[in-house]
Amino acid sequence: MAEPAPAAEQADPSDMAAWAAENATEPAAETGEDASADDWESGAAAAVSERILNQDEIDSLLGFELSDTEDGERTGIRAIINSALVSYERLPMLEIVFDRLVRLMTTSLRNFTSDNVEVSLDNISSIRFGDYLNSIPLPAILSVFRAEELDNYGLLTVDSNLIYSIVDVLLGGRRGTAAMRIEGRPYTTIERVLVQRMVEVVLADAKAAFEPLTPVTFNLDRLETNPRFAAIARPANAAILIKLRIDMEDRGGRIELLLPYATLEPIRKMLLQQFMGEKFGRDNIWESHLATELWTTQMEVRAVLDEQQISLRKVLEFKVGDTLMLNTTAEGPIELRAGTVSLTTGQMGRRNHHISFRCNGPLTAGARRTIQEQA
């Protein structure tokens, strides 16, 4: 007969229940791990599917492409930031004025330097004043000038290459050799005086360029080498920037003329003209028609017998039948008026059952002056 198994080897019912519970939870855990793995794989696939912008696309979005030139149109966020600036193309006469300035400067600088000078207009653009001050390549000389009739200021910047070239030409430097440039030193008194003479020549040409449009006198106020001391407007104010290139054979440099929009505001209507004749043009047909209509214009004229000042109480107490005594007689002088303007004086009379007025003199000086001002 087989002997019964020992008690230690017999399976305990409680251990069997624990083992069954552990085996039952393992599939559930595996199922949770599979679900999290599927979620991670789907997230990774979504991340891979998202397109990442490269550096060129980021620059294009911000509007800072390296291939852009100053003449190119700004795009992206940069265009939105600068959208408040008014384009110089809305002022057509500006380009005509500065083209005339280029021609005048070519002749004036040739006489000033006794050398072959070529002046060219690089571009005309709109810029914020603060951005321009930060972009000035130093060292440079900044000339602050005042537009007397416009009652405001402008800025003229001469770069270092042109400064040394002008000094070299005016002091008899040899042709064919580049001007020597010494870094790290301030400009001497001689250099500043020579540049000041050139700036005065340029400002005289600018005055002549604006002359057909409107008389403007540009007077040099001061010379500065630090842009912080040449502030003539707030950093956020818009301005017109004109870049001129001056070439003297193998030497030359740049002149930059900056005019804030506040300076040009008094003559903005003139700058909006499409052509110069729009201001000075004369239409004989319209002029004769206007003269004819003026001669036939009907106007109201009043003969004033007398004027008195009385209180408001008496005016309110007026009744039908009241008599108002005048401080004049039948032969006394009567004033003839058109509105509030006194024309002349005369006497009152009667002709063909009508009350008449006879002038005793010509139009008064005040009446003539008023007619001339209105004309």
231 and 106 together in one domain: yes
**What whole-number distance in Å separates Cα of residue 290 and Cα of residue 288?**
5
275 and 161 together in one domain: yes
Of 280, 250, 4, 2, the closest CA to residue 118 belongs to: 250
Letter for the amino acid at 259?
L
Of 227, 264, 317, 219, the closest CA to residue 86 belongs to: 264
DSSP letter string over 112-139? HHTS--EEEEEEEEEEEHHHHHHHPPSS
Does position 218 have pLDDT exceeding 80, yes or no?
Answer: yes
Q: What 3-state DSSP class applies to 352?
A: coil
145 and 258 together in one domain: yes
**What is the per-residue pLDDT across 33-90, written as a single tens digit (0 to 9) for each?**
555 555 555 555 554 457 787 877 777 766 655 444 444 455 556 666 655 555 555 7
**What is the per-residue pLDDT across 99-127, written as a single tens digit (0 to 9) for each?**
999 999 999 999 998 888 899 998 888 88
Does position 28 have pLDDT exceeding 50, yes or no?
Answer: no
**What whole-number distance in Å separates Cα of residue 211 and Cα of residue 216?**
7
* Residue 133 in domain: yes
Please tell me the predicted confidence (pLDDT) of residue 143: 94
Structure tokens at 298: 């009907």
* Residue 122 in domain: yes
* Residue 101 in domain: yes
* Residue 71 in domain: no
Please tell me the predicted confidence (pLDDT) of residue 34: 54
**What is the per-residue pLDDT across 171-189, written as a single tens digit (0 to 9) for each?**
887 665 555 555 667 888 9
* Residue 314 in domain: yes
132 and 258 together in one domain: yes
Question: Which CATH number characterizes residue 247's domain?
Answer: 3.40.1550.10
Letter for the amino acid at 89?
E
197 and 250 together in one domain: yes
Of 156, 365, 117, the closest CA to residue 258 belongs to: 156
256 and 307 together in one domain: no
Q: Are 147 and 201 contacting, i.e. CB atoms less than 8 angstroms apart?
A: no
Residues of the chain above pLDDT 70, percent: 73
Residues of the chain above pLDDT 90, percent: 21
Please tell me the predicted confidence (pLDDT) of residue 60: 72
**What whole-number distance in Å separates Cα of residue 244 and Cα of residue 100?**
13
Please, what sign has the CA dihedral across residues 188, 189, 193, 194? negative
Provide the domain limits for residue 305: 296-318+327-374
Please tell me the predicted confidence (pLDDT) of residue 176: 57
Q: Picking from 78-87, 209-218, 313-322, which range would have the lowest pLDDT averaged per residue?
A: 78-87
Which uninterrupted H or E stretch holds 368? helix 365-374
221 and 331 together in one domain: no
276 and 300 together in one domain: no
Does position 11 have pLDDT exceeding 90, yes or no?
Answer: no
Question: Which CATH number characterizes residue 339's domain?
Answer: 2.30.330.10
**What whole-number distance in Å separates Cα of residue 127 and Cα of residue 240?**
6
* Residue 99 in domain: yes
**How do strand 238-248 and strand 333-338 relate by DSSP bridges?**
unpaired
Which uninterrupted H or E stretch holds 343? strand 341-351
124 and 227 together in one domain: yes
Q: Are 105 and 257 contacting, i.e. CB atoms less than 8 angstroms apart?
A: no
172 and 248 together in one domain: yes
* Residue 125 in domain: yes
195 and 234 together in one domain: yes
**What whole-number distance in Å separates Cα of residue 2 and Cα of residue 341?**
150
* Total count of domains within the chain: 2
